[in-house]
Structure 1
């Protein structure tokens, strides 16, 4: 995504007319791209693992943050009309509001932990199970917003969260085929059984959900009432994320080069994860959170289908289908998209 392909409807400045991407309004282009990237992310991690067992997840997280930093400055340059203006606005913001920038080290650490745990969970779970389980981030975000933001969660949303948990539990029920064997593209940790791998994957996914929820709620606290560009904040966040990831890499103390074991698929995985984070920001900026839920639901369905048909790492059954439907339905219900179909006592 480069400046040359991002233009207004008639070639005017982006601030004067709604932005278009390849002739399509950015609102819809960002949603389509987010759906594709969200679905592709899980498979890119599995493809990277199948192409190489030697790369370190911590180094991939570092390069992911560096890609995010580069993408953030690219979008900021579009917003400010030139790279020099982007650098100047970034420097002024950091110099005049150092405390606001320092606050971002907290979500920066949270997102670094989240990315590491996502890589770990994909190693131990099938693509479909990981994708559905990761929707528990809605639950963790809601609970943390109640605790940290003193926000009230209504009856409808509590019911939706209970349905979400029930759906994930159905998806997580062990299947004999999954317990006895390791999918073709799934990394197998030495000395672990299928049930142990599934449990470790669930814990990693749950940890990623908590890190995601905490980072998101803290970012909301920082951004609330702020007129600062979302791309500038993302650039600051990426700096702290890269710093934290670099510290983790340093603490591991490997003598091998940082890019040891890297293949084309590993680089593509790092860029995919980075671009996914940027697309979420673009959707929230140009579209809205409800449309983002549509993207999430479609991505879950696509991941499930591809996981069964292409990777062959899961056998679909009625219990898995019911869990997936409950999870998607709970997501829609929580975001308010089913309000017209719910009885009054739920609302």
Structure 2
């Protein structure tokens, strides 16, 4: 049976959730700043690799600080990897799953429209809840399930509105650039109505005569080519949907599996982070070389040339973004240890809304009614999930009282009621937990044999 969290754990729990919200918000703002303007483009896969390296170094430092000795800290890390290598291999599972997930997300981005991808990927909220129930055996109330669906809908609406806003902003910039580049055209006199009508009828007749024969004499080859193109795009979209759905399932499973590892042993969360970061560094570098092979080897295969291409475009904003991302990995481990993955999903979703609000002041983001509706869904879901937790004992006690009252109305004697009570106690084991509950005061009005 899980122990009841003390006040210190609750402080760490809610503090880590708050820090996670701030970290996600600042990460998006710095990432947007690093990717806009006239800066040279940097390789995002390489930035993920460096984030894992930073997280590994920070975790080693935190272990040494926790042990108050560099020698003792390094010895403990060595002991966990050498003498408890079977336990360390458990963390290899989420590392591999996260790598496959990143590859599938890359496939999804390449085959789906950006808005569709951003909305569909929010299904990871629901898959996380499903794996919480299946793997951890944790139960959610009906209100909490409803709040999760509202959270999914709210985040999807906010992400979609943000994507549309970015597209509008790009279109306005392009229109402004074209307006300044095109010289003033000479003005021409307006034609009369008779001239315009005559010209329109002549153009329509000419267009009709020129377009009808090709349509009527279209060959089977042209029809086959058009059908092949349509089938190709359909297959691409289907592949993108399958990739993002599998990635959502992997995201939920990996998060819950890592939560089970963190909460199921007394190993320090910083050592667990080291165990997770080591294979992640290798997989991130491998993924970067596969994804950006042409860019990395653009200047040849010499080590200096490869290193130079890997660091191309890395200015102070990119390094700050990498540091914030690595810090987020440490915060996520604390959140999973003292809270859970569902609360982490709520924190990151709330950070998306907060980021859009800050973008209104910093990046000229213009919220629409869609954003207001989506943000309201997210905020409402946060409150509903926290206010209506699953209360198994209270439900069982209420059912017990209801059965007793029902049996009394139908004239069942005390002995039968006592047998019913005894059976319920054996099946649910709630009676020992609810002896001091005020709900059993109603049941004590009946005469039962003493235990």
TM-score by length of 2: 0.55
Deviation of residue 296 (structure 1)? Answer: 4.7
Corresponding residue pairs, total? 298
Name the CA shift for 1:207/1:325 in 2 (closer, same or farther; >3 Å).
farther
Quote the RMSD (CA, aligned, Å).
4.1
Structure 2 partner of 1:308: 360
1:138 aligns with 2:125: yes
- More off after superposition, 43-52 vs 133-142: 133-142
Deviations 1:168-191 (A, max 9, x none): 343355686554443899xxxxxx
In the alignment, which of 21, 24, 28 is matched to residue 35 of structure 1?
21
Unaligned runs of 5+ in 1: 1-17, 20-24, 186-200
Q: Is the 8 A contact 1:136 1:164 kept in 2?
A: no
Q: 1:298 Cα shift?
A: 5.6
Partner residue of 2:152?
165
Aligned to 2:387: 337
Cα pair 1:133 1:168 within 8 Å, conserved: no
Q: Is the 8 A contact 1:41 1:269 kept in 2?
A: yes
Unmatched runs of 5 consecutive residues or more in structure 2: 1-7, 174-239, 298-305, 396-451
Normalization by structure 1: what TM-score?
A: 0.70
1:299 aligns with 2:351: yes
Seen in structure 2, the aligned counterparts of structure 1 residues 324 and 93 have a Cα distance that, compared at 3 Å, is same
Question: How far has the Cα of 1:31 moved from its partner?
Answer: 5.2
Contact 2:346 2:382 in 1 (8 A): no
Q: Which residue of 1 aligns with 2:283?
A: 244
Corresponding residue to 1:68 among 51, 55, 59:
55
Whole-angstrom distance in 2 between the partners of 1:282 and 1:219: 12
- In the alignment, which residue of structure 1 is the partner of 2:93? 106
**How far apart, in 2, do the equivalents of 1:243 and 1:125 lie?**
28
Aligned to 2:59, the other structure's residue is in SS state: helix
Deviations 1:28-67 (A, max 9, x none): 7655543322210111211221264432111111101001
Cα displacement (A) at 1:229: 0.7
Q: Which of 80, 85, 89 matches 1:93?
A: 80
- Distance (Å, rounded) in 2 between the aligned partners of 1:77 and 1:329: 42
Higher-Rg member (1/2): 2
Partner of 2:68: 81
Q: Aligned partners of 2:242, 2:44: CA distance in 1, in Å?
A: 17
Q: Return the alpha-carbon distance in structure 1 between the equivalents of residues 32 and 244 of structure 2.
A: 15
Paired residues of 1:183 and 1:311 also in contact (CA < 8 A): no
Is the Cα–Cα contact under 8 Å of residues 141 and 214 in structure 1 kept in the other structure? yes
Q: Residue 328 and residue 267 in structure 1: after superposition, are their counterparts in 2 closer, same or farther (change >3 A)?
A: same
Query: What is the CA distance between 1:146 and its match in structure 2?
Result: 3.7
Distance in 2 between residues matched to 1:156 and 1:331, nearest whole Å: 11
**In structure 2, distance between residues paired with 1:295 and 1:146:** 20
Query: How far did residue 140 of structure 1 move?
Result: 2.1
The answer to whether the aligner puts 1:217 opposite 2:256 as a matched pair is: yes
Give the distance between the partners of 1:91 and 1:153, measured in 2 at CA. Answer: 40
The verdict on how the C-alpha distance between 1:107 and 1:271 changes in structure 2, with shifts beyond 3 A counting, is same
